[in-house]
Structure 1
Amino acid sequence: MIRTATLSMGVMLSMFLTACDNTAKVPEAQPKAEQSASTSTDTISIGYSDWPGFVAWQVAIEKGWLKEAGLNVDFKWFDYSSSLNAFSANQLDAVLVTNGDNLITSTGGTKGIMIMATDYSAGNDVIIAKDGINSLADLKGKSVATEKGLVDHLLLSTALTDAKIPSADIKLVNSVTNELPQVFASPDISAIAVWQPVANQALKAVAGSKIIYSSKDKPGLIYDTLSVNMTHLSAHKEEWKKVIQVWDKTVKFINDPATHEEAVQIMAKRVGVDPAQYEQFVGGTHLLDLAANKTVFTKGTGFDSIYGSTYHVNKFNVENGIYTAEVDADGLINPALIESLK
């Protein structure tokens, strides 16, 4: 159940920028009796939601690694868009969010500073085509459906640009993501851009259909990040360093063949999915440990750098009317904590 009912790249503006929903159900913090005496008395609240790179935190929660690090962290579970609403309304100290959506929340006044990346999409976002269409070039003159302004519109736009296919050479059909399997079954639609698990539903709905492009073909296009309220970050840098170290431990546990199965079971249980099915979604998510983050947070213009990826999304957001002028992307990326850790 990946990004189900989420709005991942932009047109949720009306939902969380101009009319922030403050009614999101927020779980209560743990009773003080359950908190380790050695943990900080200041509770850090982090919003997380249904994406493997976010659900991975469940491993750290259940293993007790945050408390072991002397941290008192309250992870609050949301639908993705509701987590952004809560962060925008200053109900959270941090939120797990795509780098593109972090740009959008910043235009609403809440400055979220990206201090680390949990992962990048590595196959969970796809372009699916009907039988007879075998490449992006075959899409010329065809109708392609996706939800405009969202993450897979970004994927489609980037793929077409790389293939030197003008966007005007296809007919873009705007469709709600969760309805794309039905839309794809229409004889008028030749391809769709969509994320998992809706992608699997579409593949089953149309015989002979196949994936012709995915986020695996463009590593670093879609980063998922830990974004912290600027004021909270300034006052609690040491605690956030410890959070990053716990994340590094978590990624190593998930990637270790000896403990991978246990980790997937923990993650799958959190979202109510069979572990065997969830394994596919974990495989489509490239988790980033501390060493990988040091590379990603090195300034550059390519997608191997979160800077280059964010510059790219920034331009996409302006070109598609999500906001009117480019955001100061550098001001929302803070590599200092990553750089200070060994």
Structure 2
Amino acid sequence: MIFMFNNLAVTIIILVVLVASALFGWEHAPKKEEGPKTTGKLMKVARNYWPGQYWLAIADKKGWLKEAGLNIEFTDFPDFIQSMSDMAEGKVDVSAFVLFDFMKFRLQGADLVGVINNDISFADAIVAKPGIENITDLKGKRIGLQKESFQEFMLSMVLEGNKLKLDDVIIAEIQAEDTEPFVKGAVDATVTWEPFASEAVEKGNGRIIFDSSELPGLISDIFVFRRKFIKERPEDVQAFVNVWHKSTEFIKQNPKEAFGIIAEIYNKTPGEVEALTRQVKILDMRDNRASFSFAAGFESLHGTARKVNNFMIKKGMTKKRLDSTEFFDGRFIRRLR
């Protein structure tokens, strides 16, 4: 009887200890991390078919934007320039901008702030006629490009790297999409991007003597909000950045499924979708932490912006020295885990 009582007592003590341990563990267990408390208000987002924006369609398809508490209305823009203009005019809340154009809009008074570096282009190129073998051979030659554009900025950086200046070449005003002057021999070289670079090579018997993969970060594509939006709805901006991170990681880990989603939405083949990512590098969290750090080179948005500003001052586009800390906000990237 005493033996049975002792066994019962021991059992009860063990049960009490187990229950107490469970309760203590539950009480002190790390709480599940929750996302930012979003406002639920409408966020109008401009969207283009472009690698750095693939994640938007994927996150929408997967339901991750709604999951994050975001109420997003997409507007698809076939014209990238129009999406930037609409953003500057306040017709949409979020849009991607080429860094050079972003700074031009800033100079025109648009109070815009970059929060994500989406991608960097390897698709921009200088195509030259036979006999022009390298950049130094461009001296004294006639080059077609759009003036006061990122194409002219790219050319200036490339020339500078080869101990030349813009004054050492003759600039002819030509739209980047117009390859006819090059094909017909009106210019000796042209500055453009794919697929027009390949078209100039094929139809104009040209060769690519430089492409932007040789200077990674020279041409960046960034997601931009208006400052007023960030000030009034920082939680929504953070949720947007969080979903971007989740979606870009998904693309890296599941490229076949990701490219299939994009192909279906934009009526492309998965091969076409993937091929574009070889011309445009999709950036991730690690890339962005470098992008928002302070450095003098193209790996930093601040460093690139300074070079763009210097170019704009030389070209007479502005006399103003811009402070990049006023229009790049890296805190949302820094908060990512």
Shorter-chain TM-score range: 0.7 to 0.9
Give the match's secondary structure for 1:110: coil
- Is the CA contact (8 Å cut-off) linking 1:94 and 1:112 kept in structure 2? no
Q: What does residue range 120-269 of structure 1 map to in structure 2 within 5 Å?
A: 120-121=120-121, 123-179=122-178, 181-207=179-205, 209-256=206-253, 259-269=254-264
Between 1:216-225 and 1:40-49, the stretch displaced more is 40-49
Deviation by residue 1:39-70 (Cα, 9 ceiling, x = unmatched): 85311112233432134422222222211222
Deviations 1:262-304 (A, max 9, x none): 3234334555544433433211112111222111111122111
Residue 335 in structure 1 maps to residue 330 in structure 2: yes
Equivalent residue, structure 1, for 2:61: 62
Read off the aligned partner of 1:80 and give its amino acid letter.
F
2:70 paired residue number: 71
Q: Does the C-alpha gap of structure 1 residues 331 and 265 become closer, same or farther in structure 2, counting only changes over 3 Å?
A: same
Unaligned ranges ≥5, structure 1? 1-37
Tell me, yes or no, if the aligned pair for 2:51 and 2:281 is still in contact at 8 Å: no
CA distance in 2, matches of 1:62, 1:286: 22
- Measured after TM superposition, the shift of residue 330 of structure 1 is 1.9
Based on CA coordinates, which of the two structures has the bigger radius of gyration? 2
Q: Residue 286 of structure 1: SS of its match in structure 2?
A: strand
3-state secondary structure, aligned to 2:192: strand
Is contact 1:46-1:96 (8 Å) kept?
Answer: no
Structure 1 residues 313 and 266: CA distance shift in structure 2, 3 A: farther
Distance 2:261 2:197 in 1: 24
CA shift in 2, pair 1:278/1:153, >3 Å: farther
What is the count of residue pairs matched by the alignment?
300
Q: Distance in 2 between matches of 1:270 and 1:319?
A: 43
Q: CA deviation at 1:135?
A: 1.0
The Cα shift of 1:85 comes to 2.1
- Is the contact between residue 119 and residue 222 of structure 2 (CA under 8 Å) also seen in structure 1? yes
Q: How does 1:81-120 map to 2 (within 5 A)?
A: 81-120=81-120
8 Å contact 2:136–2:162 — kept in the other structure? yes
Aligned-residue RMSD, C-alpha: 2.1
Q: In structure 2, what is the Cα distance between the partners aligned to 1:265 and 1:210? A: 33
Of Structure 1 and Structure 2, which has the larger fraction of its residues in helix?
2
Equivalent in the alignment of 1:313: 308
Q: Which runs of 5+ in 2 are unaligned?
A: 1-36
Alpha-carbon displacement from aligned partner over 1:199-220 (angstroms, at most 9, x marks no partner): 222122123x221111101111
Task: Point out the more displaced range, 218-227 or 166-175.
Answer: 166-175
1:250 Cα offset (Å): 1.9
What is the SS of the residue equivalent to 1:279? helix
When normalised by structure 2's length, the TM-score is 0.82
Residue number in structure 1 paired with 2:288: 293
State the identity %: 27
1:119-149 CA-to-partner distances (Å, cap 9, x unmatched) read 111x211111222322111212221111112
Q: Distance in 2 between matches of 1:194 and 1:272?
A: 25
Partner of 1:14: none
The one-letter code matched in structure 1 to 2:120 is Y
Tell me, what secondary structure is at the counterpart of 1:109? coil
Consecutive aligned runs of 4 or more in structure 1 exceeding 6 Å deviation: none
Query: Secondary structure at the residue paired with 1:144?
Result: strand
Contact 1:48 1:55 (8 Å CA) reproduced: no
**Alpha-carbon contact 1:54-1:118 (below 8 Å) kept:** yes
Aligned to 1:7: none
- Residue of structure 2 equivalent to 1:34: none
Letter in structure 1 aligned against 2:278:
G
Give the aligned residue type for 1:223.
S
Indicate whether 1:280 and 2:275 are aligned. Answer: yes
Q: Which amino acid aligns with 1:317?
A: M
Q: Deviations over 1:4-57 (max 9, x none)?
A: xxxxxxxxxxxxxxxxxxxxxxxxxxxxxxxxxx98531111223343213442
> Structure 2 CA distance, aligned partners of 1:119 and 1:290?
11
Shift of 1:101: 1.7
Distance in 1 separating the partners of 2:181 and 2:44: 39
Verify the 8 A CA contact 2:38 2:235 in the aligned structure 1: no
Report the equivalent of 1:23: none
